[in-house]
């Protein structure tokens, strides 16, 4: 796998939909290529961040009410 391949499939890799063989190639490339390793880490963090935000949006209504109330409280200060 080359750097361009890694860039192209990084989202599949993070999704876990890359397939065993390409997953293995991906990992192998990361151990040899610090640039791709770093980029993949950034993508993973970004995804984790977005996932957490989405989770929060899907939180129970009670929680959302409490959250928006406390946010309003902060805004009113
Ligand atoms: Zn690379």
Distances (CA, A) of 61 to 55, 65, 75: 12, 6, 21
Listed residue (30, 38, 41, 34) closest to 1, CA to CA: 30
Q: How far is the CA of 16 from the centre of ligand 1 (A)?
A: 19
The pLDDT of residue 77 is: 58
Please report which confidence band the pLDDT of residue 62 belongs to, taking 50, 70 and 90 as the band edges.
confident
CA of 60 relative to ligand 1 center, distance in Å: 42
What is the model's pLDDT at position 75? 64
Residue 60 pLDDT grade (very low, low, confident, very high; cuts 50, 70, 90):
confident
Q: How far is ligand 1, taken at its centre, from the CA of residue 50, in Å?
A: 25
Q: Which residues have CB less than 5 Å away from ligand 1 (the ion)?
A: 3, 33, 36
**Ligand 1 centroid – CA 56 distance (Å):** 34
pLDDT tens profile 1-47: 999 999 999 999 998 999 999 999 999 999 999 999 999 999 999 98
């Amino acid at each position: 796998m080359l750097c361009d391949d890694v860039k192209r499939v990084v989202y599949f890799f993070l999704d876990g939909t890359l397939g065993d063989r390409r997953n293995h190639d991906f990992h192998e490339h990361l151990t040899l290529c610090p640039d791709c390793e770093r980029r993949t880490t950034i993508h993973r963090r970004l995804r984790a961040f977005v996932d957490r935000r989405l989770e929060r949006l899907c939180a129970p209504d009670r929680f959302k009410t409490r959250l928006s109330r406390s946010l309003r409280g902060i805004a009113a200060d």
